[in-house]
Structure 1
Amino acid sequence: MRLVPVTAVVLSAAALLAGCAQGKDDLRPPRSAAEGAWYASSQEQRREHCEAYRAHDPQRPVRIPSYLSEESLDEFADNFYDMLKEKC
């Protein structure tokens, strides 16, 4: 009779740990404005950024998201592109 509640607790704890492990990158502060823009993007937007980055198609460029930064637009775009190399 005690096996069912214990099993439920163990499975719940395992599910919580798995969820925490998946989102651990989102918990630490961004190292740069480019990384902040990445984490502020939705999963769909991230997928689109990576697809455009991998395609290297001038007709379908990577859309650089807007994000509060002290960098110039060119510096931010360069940093975002470098960050895409890492994430994609």
Structure 2
Amino acid sequence: MRRASALAAALSLAALLTGCTQEKPESAPATRSPAQAAWYDSTPEERESHCDAYRSHDPQHPVTIPPHQSDQTDEEFADDFYEVLKKEC
């Protein structure tokens, strides 16, 4: 009986150690939101123009929201794009 419980404990420990040493699958890269994708799809000149307009807060020269393809409404996309500008500019 003692031999059986010692064997069971050894097998349990071996199984536990095997589980701890297994490689974990790599996590999938984070996906970009449509607003982030629009930012990164913009040219450097367009990005600079977006940042200049964002920083100036001038109603005469508003931020031009780039075209996008997403399930979001235009208003939701614009809000998300402003969040990207906050972070990037």
TM norm structure 1: 0.66
The separation in 1 between residues aligned to 2:38 and 2:31, in whole angstroms, is 9
* Equivalent residue, structure 1, for 2:13: none
1:66-88 C-alpha deviation (Å, 9 max, x unpaired): 01111000000000011100000
* Equivalent residue, structure 2, for 1:69: 70
Q: Retained in 2: the 8 A contact 1:33–1:67? A: yes
Structure 2: 5+ residue stretches without partners: 1-28
Q: Which has the higher helix share?
A: 1
1:35 maps to a residue whose letter is Q
* Equivalent residue, structure 1, for 2:83: 82
The separation in 2 between residues aligned to 1:55 and 1:68, in whole angstroms, is 27
Q: Point out which structure has higher relative CO (alpha carbons under 8 A, 6+ apart).
A: 2
Structure 1: 5+ residue stretches without partners: 1-27
* Equivalent residue, structure 1, for 2:51: 50
1:15-50 C-alpha deviation (Å, 9 max, x unpaired): xxxxxxxxxxxxx76520000000110000000000
Aligned length: 61
Change (3 A) 1:43 1:29: farther
The separation in 1 between residues aligned to 2:30 and 2:43, in whole angstroms, is 17
Identity %, equivalent residues: 52
Whose radius of gyration is greater, 1 or 2?
A: 2
